[in-house]
A and B are shown apart, each in its own frame.
Chain A
Amino acid sequence: MTMQSRTDALYYTAAELSARGADNIPDAFVSHNRLIYSSPATLAYNSPGAEGFGVKRAGLAIPGSVMLIVSPGCCGRNTSALMRMPEYDKRFFYLEMDETDLITGRYLKKIPEAAQEIMAFLEKYGRKPTVLMICITCVDALLGTDMERVARQTQDVIDIPTRPCYMYALTREGRKPPMVHVRQSLYALLPKQQRVVTTANILGYFTPLTADCELRNFLQQLGIRTINEISRCEDFDAFEAMGAANFNLVLDAEALPAADDLQKRLAMPYIQLTRMYQMDKIKHQYQALAQVFKKSVNLETDRQHARDAIETLKNRYGKLTFSVGEVINANPFELALALLREGFDVAEIFGTVTSDVMPWLAKIAAISPETKVYSNLEPSMLFYKSVSPVDCALGEDACYYHPDIPGAAFNGGDQPFGFSGVVHLCEAIDKAMQADAGGIR
């Protein structure tokens, strides 16, 4: 890049942000007030499906389902990367729109026929899909397309459940962002059935909790024998069996509207848990849930294991200084606070400042007022240069900004949670520190 900067990357200290409070968040940190800088650190924001789970992958969470993406060619382009993954072989199809389609709306009439052609194509390979998801994009958001109606028409023709899903980037900050809606669309397929009191669903993630997560043990101590996760459903029957659960545990707030729907439609209550890395908060959250069931649960072994992992890290590396990003299996502010409370330093946080994170920011400001907070999206991040010494970068974005120091992306597939999440985090940091500069990505 030959262009010169006129400014350094903009940041506020934790103390400044905390003093400003939730009602006075700087304009520069409110995404719709600025252009959004496109760097590898913002890819997960701009295009969640380019890595991780966006609407496209999430829409195919149901075993045996296929997706028809009805859109201009540009919207389906990055799916090429997913097509290379064996689990998505012959599961994505495209109906490309042209300008005449936009003007006449004729593409809507073609959808049932396209669905029939897809069914015939799959039949040649001995496959019959369980569900057809019809994915539409910003264009249809603006046209106000009634895709529910088109999905019903299509279902009548192909005789398999057909659901719309909305990849409406335009509504990202609206009442129902795409990743909220896609969860509602998926769980709307759960049928009403006889309740099994010893069964619970975990909602929120599209990949499973890590195999060693104590949440399962915890639920078993509460008398839950079957714990369903959509990512562990091997077939459509297993998915449908989620409709028999006694309650839902919601681990990601984006699944709350779906849980609400299930409560209304199937009388299935839900409880929200939050992923945290502060040891005392994890313990209190489990205790509170146990109280709901009027039971006492012992997770002391798991807690001690996590405590040992933290102490090992401290003994091995001393007072590490971290750069904490938001492309990570954590809330960066909560994680930064957890690290500070354990005696580490946090030089900088890359995160989205909203009123929700203010309580954490206030506590960060009390311990480490000079911690710098950057917004990945802010245009001046084009000129970001590290101004604070950092030992280890946490999160894919922080690793991008600090390519020459040890780093742990810690945003991989299986989801860390609870005390075992703390252990996994410590192990990831340890691995990164043992590796050469450039670290574990």
Chain B
Amino acid sequence: MKGLRKVLTPFAPDQSGAVSVLYALDGMIVVLDAGGCTGNICGFDEPRWQHEKSAIFSAGLRDMDAVFGRDKELVEKVKIAADQMDAAFIVLVGTPVPAVIGTDYHGLKRMLEKEVNLPVLAIETNGMALYDCGIEAAWLALVKTFCKNSGQPKRGVGIIGVSPMDFPDNKLRNVPEITSVNSIAALANTERNIVVSPAGRKAADYLKKTFGVPYTCTVPDELLTNIDLPADDKNILIIHQQYIANALRKKMSKAKNVTVASWFMADKKQWQLGDVKLKEEDDFTSLIAAHHYDVIMTDAVLKPLLPENFKGAWVDLPHFALSGRKAV
């Protein structure tokens, strides 16, 4: 049945993806929920949360707040918290509650901006889409808000679309880390940007169109460490974030055949004939049953879905957005 999961738990949702982009920045994150979504985002989907502080808050909505749409009270609560810290911006992150009650994000943003005198961003996630939709929305909102034409000569390389949901280690040599509003603003002033996930494409397109910064969609080798590549002459299936899977495919040019599949956003420009989009649990099982893959490279959380007659090898390729398990 469509939408029924009997083996897998739901994958990381859009709101977690958005927070994964915002978490390390110098802003104040307000999740518009009753508390449970914030608990899920932080307690399960944010690998840095246990050891690295961030100004992340739940709006603590209650049933009557939702019924009566008490935006003024929410603005007041945000203002009180904002007065306690030096945040560079405030970002509102949506969940199913504002989606159901039809929250006017634009209005809320304007009300807040008047009160706190800080840039306010609104990410209209709803908890029903997948993590990459949240990453895409967060990156786009950040570059649209903070990137300005500096008039300075362009220099260096920037990175876009990065998130711990895909990469256990985000650091690239000679590429500044994204840790603040300033590092976001600098992306408008680079010679070139590297886009490491399909979710980064829209932000990169915006920077190219607005500031003339070209970009390359690729995953540098530095971000693909500790992966055991199978021997040549094999028929291989890789299931992961599309750009990561494509980068691995590129490394295995001597393989008999490499198919890329993904549960998530796919960039059509990077799609190859025979690549597969997955949605339901049965899609995975049917795919394996219909093809004779020698090797499957993906997160071990999918193993229980293998058809009984699968005789190939399995290379564990952890994907945090699937299993909540970090690669080692």
> Chain A interface (Cβ within 8 Å of chain B)?
1-7, 31-40, 43, 45-48, 50-51, 71-81, 83, 92-99, 101-102, 107, 110, 113-114, 117-118, 121, 137-139, 141-143, 167-174, 377, 379-380, 382-383
Contact = CB atoms under 8 A, between A and B. Distances in A.
B57 A169 contact: no
Contact of B40 (A7, A78, A110): A78
B15 A74 contact: yes
B305 interface: no
B34 to A, nearest CB: 4
Given A117-B1, A117-B6, A35 B59 contact: yes
Contacts of B34: 138, 168-170, 172
A4 B81 contact: no
Given A78-B39, A96-B3, A36 B57 contact: yes
15 contacts: A1-B54, A7-B84, A38-B49, A38-B57, A47-B35, A48-B39, A50-B43, A73-B11, A73-B128, A80-B9, A94-B5, A113-B1, A141-B63, A142-B67, A382-B85
Given A4-B85, A99-B128, A138-B36, A31 B100 contact: no
Nearest to B301: A80
List the 7 shortest-distance A-B pairs measured between CB atoms, nearest first: A47-B39, A46-B39, A74-B127, A73-B10, A169-B34, A74-B13, A169-B36
Contacts of B81: 34-35, 379
Given A45-B35, A47-B40, A78-B40, A94 B4 contact: yes
A99 B54 CA distance: 30
Nearest to A47: B39
B72 to A, nearest CB: 13
B4 A3 contact: no
Contact of A96 (B10, B88, B95): B10
Contact of A4 (B15, B86, B180, B323): B86
Interface of B: 1, 3-6, 9-16, 26, 28, 30-31, 33-45, 49-50, 52-63, 65-67, 77-78, 80-81, 83-88, 95-97, 99-101, 126-128, 130, 179-180, 301, 323-324
Nearest to B97: A138
B97 A77 contact: no
Contacts of A114: 1, 4
A113 B58 CA distance: 36
A117 B127 contact: no
Given A1-B53, A169-B33, A46 B9 contact: no
B245 to A, nearest CB: 22
A39 B43 CA distance: 9
B182 to A, nearest CB: 10
A34 B60 contact: yes
Contact of A80 (B6, B179, B323): B323
Contact of B128 (A47, A51, A74, A92): A74
Nearest to A403: B51
Given A47-B40, A170-B61, A379-B81, A98 B128 contact: yes
A73 B84 contact: no
Contacts of A101: 3
B293 to A, nearest CB: 24
Contacts of A110: 1, 3-4
A47 to B, nearest CB: 2
Nearest to B95: A74
A35 B63 contact: no
B62 A32 contact: yes
Given A50-B44, A95-B3, A142-B66, A77 B36 contact: no
Given A46-B38, A94-B10, A139-B100, A6 B84 contact: yes
B62 A170 contact: yes
B36 A47 contact: yes
Nearest to A34: B77
B15 to A, nearest CB: 6
Nearest to A81: B44
Given A43-B42, A50-B43, A139-B96, A6 B35 contact: no
A72 B96 contact: yes
B326 to A, nearest CB: 13
A124 B127 CA distance: 32
Contact of A35 (B5, B58, B180): B58
A3 B33 contact: no
A142 B66 CA distance: 8
B61 A121 contact: no
A2 B179 contact: yes
Which of B10, B38, B57, B67 has the most chain A CB atoms inside 10 A of its CB?
A: B10
Contacts of A43: 39, 42-43
Contacts of A97: 3, 128
Nearest to B179: A2
A46 B54 contact: no
A333 B28 CA distance: 32
Nearest to A83: B9
Contacts of A81: 44, 324
A3 B62 contact: no
B44 A31 contact: no
A101 B2 CA distance: 12
Contacts of A36: 35, 38, 57-60
B40 A38 contact: no
A399 to B, nearest CB: 12
Contacts of B50: 40
B16 A74 contact: yes
Contact of B10 (A37, A50, A74): A74
Contacts of A32: 60, 62, 65
B82 to A, nearest CB: 9
Given A138-B96, A172-B34, 15 more contacts: A6-B84, A31-B60, A36-B58, A38-B57, A43-B39, A47-B38, A48-B39, A71-B96, A73-B127, A110-B1, A113-B1, A138-B100, A139-B100, A142-B101, A167-B36
